[in-house]
Structure 1
Amino acid sequence: MLNTPVPVLEVGGTHVTAALVDQAARELMGEAVREPLPAQGSAGEILGGIAAAAARIEAPPGACWGVAMPGPFDYEAGIGLFKGVGKFESLYGVDVGAELKRRLHPAPATLRFLNDADAFGIGEAVAGAAVGHARSVCITLGSGVGSAFLDQGQPVNDGPLVPPDGSVHLLSYGGRPLEETVSRRGIRAAYARAALDDPDVVPDVRAIAELARAGDRHAWAVLDHAFRALGAVLAPWLARFEATALVVGGSIAASWDLIEGPLRAGVDAVPHTGLGGKMVFRTAEHPCDAPLLGAAWWAARPQPATAGGR
């Protein structure tokens, strides 16, 4: 019911966030709580950390929880598939849904899992920068490139209109994986090659952005190249999906003043897309809360038996 608070969890690589969401108002009820999470820990330690965060919010008994999780994960079955990704590998093959049901108090009626990038996109589609757009693409820029292709707020993860699995990070630029150009590690590596005598001491992206604003031509060129590349890779898919809004979140989006121009230029440089002036480029309105709002929407919506996030 819309008037019932929806408890949600967002599981990240180093932390877990828990909150109650007012679905009618599309906003958090009180403050979200955040707990550290040992991504390299045992299954018990990780699940215990998630449960510890959940215990700090007053979830109603028998609630349906929304849980935003990174992949790889079987979102319909609630089973971890983490292998070879450097985090949560102790959860491989673990029925996370059953384990959390056992640990959460009061006991939930059910848990509905969805991909963390999809949760972010849904949050912006129902309560943020993509409101009013029937079709939107929401991406997150940080350690990698997360993506969500939204049709009326519903993530589209397969079919000819979206990249494989709806995942932009699986695409390439210049014959290399996109994330070698557009990601924290890609941008830092490019700056090290261009400007540094000591490649072992590389500033983070925020510092590179400050250098660009201060007139460092190497910093400016690296960022300009990265976001033009992102625009060029996205353009054909934006056109195919018939999106009218591109929303950018994630830690790197804090440098929106350095992203928007090159990103637009990269999109506009791709011929025959028909995008013209139809696209709206926006930074996220809820950079921190969007995944929580999206997880609540996912938990509260009527859901067919086969529904599940990526």
Structure 2
Amino acid sequence: MNKKETSYALGVDVGGSHITVGVVDLVSRTIDKGRLERHPVDSKGSITEVLDAWAGAIAPLCGKEALSTIQIGIAMPGPFDYDAGISFIDSTQDKYESLYRKNVKDLLAKKLGIANSQVRFKNDAACFLQGEVFAGIAKGYKRAIGMTLGTGAGTAYYHGTEAHDAARWGEEFSDSIAEEYFSTRWFAKKYQEATGQELSGVRELVDMKEESWVQGIFKEFGHNLGKFLGKFASEENAEIIVLGGSIAHSSALFLPETAKVLSQFLQNVPIKKSILGEESALIGAASCWYEE
């Protein structure tokens, strides 16, 4: 971190239905839990509606006296040109299509009344892993991989400098692609096959964890995940694997099977659940302003 700059930065996590903003101390590597903003966002709204919602969450934490020095790191889903700040999210993503081909960095900076050089974007999966390396369970490791399991499947790798998006969601796996096996959609499909009904969320399955058929679903998920992570970790020479996302909350139901399968590929590579939770992306995004 440049000593001439403030030791604080704002970390922003852009989700499909909300935006979360936190104040991160880059020296102590902690987030101020008393200064968190979480606002709903209509990701299907117009560009004006989206930017108004984002600015409405970010502005309260900027402080008028610090506008000229505030540093903002934003964890953003792709496809996105993170350096230029241009979105390439189109209608196939079913969110934020109003931002397509717009220079979001320029537009947001103008809305906040700051220079666009005060805003940096980084892939959201990479921010998750960066947060865990910077201040979480992967701190001290030189090589790591991370995976977020939720409505989609995010992947990232770290080789000792900063985390990067691994973009393995579309990688061929079994008879489809990885994201079809490691997201909420997979559980919904399995539930539909078993009951003929729609699944409201993975939490609904967790509540039925005493049922043997539910245990079987989680075990199958864990088995597939172990195979996928074994290949991923081997190719990246990972020293640790970190899992995050909403599905990771139910890791006790699938992680033993994942670890068992993983051991067939790699020995002595721990697989850990995120210890920062939702704060990992915020801290990771803010840490893009950290310099040794």
- Map Cα deviations across residues 192-233 of structure 1 (whole Å, 9 max, x no partner): 21x20x32x335211212212x2x111111111112101101
Provide TM-score, normalisation by structure 2: 0.92
Q: Using the alignment, how far apart are the partners of 1:177 and 1:97 within structure 2?
A: 32
Q: Using the alignment, how far apart are the partners of 2:200 and 2:98 within structure 1?
A: 32
Q: Equivalent residue of 1:143, what SS?
A: coil
Residues 203 and 14 of structure 1: CA distance in aligned 2, closer, same or farther (over 3 Å): closer
Aligned to 2:87: 80
Aligned to 1:135: 143
4+ residue runs of structure 1 moved beyond 4 angstroms?
A: 105-109
Residues 54 and 226 of structure 1: CA distance in aligned 2, closer, same or farther (over 3 Å): same
- Give unpaired runs (5+ residues) of structure 1: 158-165, 303-310
Aligned residues of 1:149 and 1:156 also touching (Cα < 8 A): yes
Q: Using the alignment, how far apart are the partners of 1:218 and 1:191 within structure 2?
A: 10
Aligned residues of 2:123 and 2:164 also touching (Cα < 8 A): no
- Map Cα deviations across residues 60-109 of structure 1 (whole Å, 9 max, x no partner): 22223111111111101100101121000000011101001101145564
Q: Equivalent residue of 1:16, what SS?
A: strand
Aligned to 1:61: 67
Q: Using the alignment, how far apart are the partners of 2:262 and 2:167 within structure 1?
A: 18
Aligned residues of 2:13 and 2:76 also touching (Cα < 8 A): yes
Query: For residue 42 of structure 2, what is the amino acid of its counterpart?
Result: P
Shift of 1:248: 0.7
Aligned length: 284
Q: How does 1:265-276 map to 2 (within 5 A)?
A: 265-269=260-264, 273=265, 275-276=266-267
Which segment drifts farther, 22-31 or 105-114? 105-114
Q: Using the alignment, how far apart are the partners of 2:126 and 2:146 within structure 1?
A: 8
Aligned to 2:44: 40
Residues 69 and 174 of structure 1: CA distance in aligned 2, closer, same or farther (over 3 Å): same
Provide TM-score, normalisation by structure 1: 0.87
Aligned residues of 2:71 and 2:118 also touching (Cα < 8 A): yes
Identical counterparts, % of pairs: 29
Q: Do structure 1's residue 16 and structure 2's residue 6 form an aligned pair?
A: no
Q: Do structure 1's residue 204 and structure 2's residue 207 form an aligned pair?
A: no
* Selected match of 1:286 from 276, 283, 286: 276
Q: Do structure 1's residue 26 and structure 2's residue 22 form an aligned pair?
A: no
Aligned to 1:247: 242
Query: For residue 51 of structure 1, what is the amino acid of its counterpart?
Result: A
Q: Using the alignment, how far apart are the partners of 1:70 and 1:180 within structure 2?
A: 18
Q: Using the alignment, how far apart are the partners of 2:128 and 2:13 within structure 1?
A: 10
Shift of 1:243: 0.5
- Give the root-mean-square deviation of aligned CA atoms: 1.7
Shift of 1:266: 2.5
Aligned residues of 1:137 and 1:150 also touching (Cα < 8 A): yes
Query: For residue 61 of structure 1, what is the amino acid of its counterpart?
Result: L
Shift of 1:242: 1.0
Aligned residues of 2:106 and 2:116 also touching (Cα < 8 A): no
Query: For residue 282 of structure 1, what is the amino acid of its counterpart?
Result: K
Q: Do structure 1's residue 296 and structure 2's residue 286 form an aligned pair?
A: yes
